[in-house]
Amino acid sequence: MQRRELLRIVGNAAVAVTAGGCSGNRSAYRMFSSAEAETLAALVNQIIPDDQTPGAVWANVLRFLDRQIAHAYGNHRETYRLGLAALERSAQSVYQRRFAALDFLEQEALVERMETGNLPADLWSELRPQEFFRILRTHTMQGFYGDPRHGGNRDLVSWRMLGVPYPPVRGRDDYRFPKHPAPSQAHPFPAEQRL
């Protein structure tokens, strides 16, 4: 291969990479398009809204979800894609608007219907709405209450709200637990709430 041929190939590759990055479909997220991120932000805001303390959006739960789905929660990629698309179809069907464009109470009503499975089955043919809500709620809680090193809980917002000191001592319990917990204390969450 001659030098001119190599320069032509490298030049064409650079143009192709630059053109691909200017498609207008760029997103600040690894796993979500801009539209998906907008819908997901509205959803996590429904699960943990702002009140006396900042909610899930401010606490970077969306960033947490993006990071985790890119890595540790990779098995849920398709669940999020299908669930967000089905939610958008449901919002269009019920309100003739995108989910993120609905007011807070309309979003809340749609999320409640998603939680109970009271949405048109033909719009949720690939995924049950209750299943998507359960996974989303669990991941949102993990992002809001978890360690900030995973991308969420910005400025320790949930730990401050709960009065949890920082930094927590890792690898050591300061509490005294009984040697054999009662069966009802074996796990703090019922099996159906665990991932």
pLDDT-based confidence at residue 188 (cuts at 50, 70, 90): very low
Residue 103 has pLDDT above 80, yes or no: yes
Answer whether 59's CB lies under 8 Å from 150's CB: no
pTM above 0.75, yes or no: no
Residues 6+ apart with CB under 8 A from 180: none
User: Is the pLDDT reported for residue 187 higher than 80?
Assistant: no
Q: How far apart are CA 159 and CA 168, in angstroms?
A: 10
Average pLDDT (42-66) is: 95
Domain ranges of the chain: 34-48+55-160
- The CA distance from 101 to 42, in Å, is 9
What distance in Å separates the CA atoms of residue 175 and residue 163, rounded to the nearest whole number?
Answer: 16
